[in-house]
Amino acid sequence: MKKFTLATFLVATVPLFSAEPSAFGAGDIDSPNPYGLTKSEKVLLENKNDLIKNKKTLRKVEIKSNRQANEVDLLKERIDGLQSIVESINRKSHANRSTLQKLNSKTIEESKNSNEYEIRLGNATQSNLQKIQSNSETIQINFDNIKKIKLVISELSILIDSINTKYITRDEFNVLVNDVNNFKSLILKELKEQKKRESKVIPKSPFANMTNGDIATKAKTLFEKQYYTDAIKHYQYLIKKGYRPAKSHYMIGEMYYKRKDYANAISYFKKSATLYSKASYMPNLMLHTAISMDKTGDKNHAENFYRGIILKYPNSKEAVQAERNLSK
């Protein structure tokens, strides 16, 4: 029968509170999920998050700027190569024109000065005319190629102008880097000043020169005087130190129960019973747990606890109270 009562208690309480609230780790802005921050720490955390975002943005801008610089350099190389080709073609075209003019002049001059030239004109002139015609065709092809190359150079120039308007310049990028660095320096300075301020205002722990036994005695005195806020702090310190944690959880549960904070009371009662189920205060712990469940609307579990008290502690005053509550 005792085993049934204890199992009923544990089953009744575990679904209600699956995790204990923690008082440790608060105020750590470097934590992945910081909590318990002061107003100053929240401001610093926001600044820190902004700095991380700016770093990511700066990295993206840097990658895009480098890509732009590479594209511009490649385009410039292509333009330089095309310009060299154009200049070479211009030179060849100019040389061909000069050659053609010389051939024309030589042919006319020879035809005027020599009748013999007319006899040989049948073969020689025909050969020269073919050369002239071939050179003329070559010159025309060169002119057509020059026009195409000039068109490509014009399109490349338009493309470079478009890149310059869409992407930031190196000067603009350097200004952005300086702004981010200045912002980073400002945040670091603020963090250092904040740490200095906190180191100056941190009060000395009231438990520094006290033994655990002295703290437990002080906590009990505060409880009896109904100074619950200070008493809870003392018992929480004892829990942290591992000094009689079952009793400390029970006492904190009692103070929340007296404050009618039944949800927190149930949580601390449950933890106390888990740590030490044979304590002398167990009848009172189970009764106050049942009443807390009753107050929070959990009637079924409250009834189970009332019956468990009657079965396990039939001669106790808590059993009498449990019977009274069941009759209602």
HEC-encoded secondary structure of 28-71: CCCCCCCCCCCHHHHHHHHHHHHHHHHHHHHHHHHHHHHHHHHH
Q: What fold, for 208-327?
A: 1.25.40
Dist CA 76 CA 107 (whole Å): 47
Dist CA 224 CA 45 (whole Å): 42
Position 85 scores a pLDDT of: 75
- pLDDT means over runs of 10, the chain (328 residues): 41 39 46 59 67 72 74 74 73 72 67 54 60 71 75 72 63 74 80 76 75 95 96 96 96 97 96 95 97 94 95 96 93
Domain edges within the chain: 39-192, 208-327
Position 240 scores a pLDDT of: 95
The amino acid at 200: K
Dist CA 269 CA 250 (whole Å): 6
Q: Which two tokens stand for residue 251?
A: 């006492």
**Beta-carbon-side half-sphere exposure of residue 223 (alpha carbons within 13 Å):** 20
- Helix or strand (DSSP H, E) at 179: helix 170-201
Q: What is this structure's pTM?
A: 0.41
In residues, how long is the chain? 328
CB 17 within 8 A of CB 267: yes
Provide the 10 A C-beta neighbour count for residue 248.
27
Position 182 scores a pLDDT of: 81
Q: Which two tokens stand for residue 154?
A: 């014009």
Position 26 scores a pLDDT of: 44
Position 254 scores a pLDDT of: 98
Position 79 scores a pLDDT of: 74
CA 302 to chain centre: 46
Q: Which residues contact 269 (CB under 8 A, 6 or more apart)?
A: 13, 249, 250, 253, 285, 288, 289, 292
Q: Which two tokens stand for residue 193?
A: 């000043």
Q: Which residues contact 22 (CB under 8 A, 6 or more apart)?
A: none
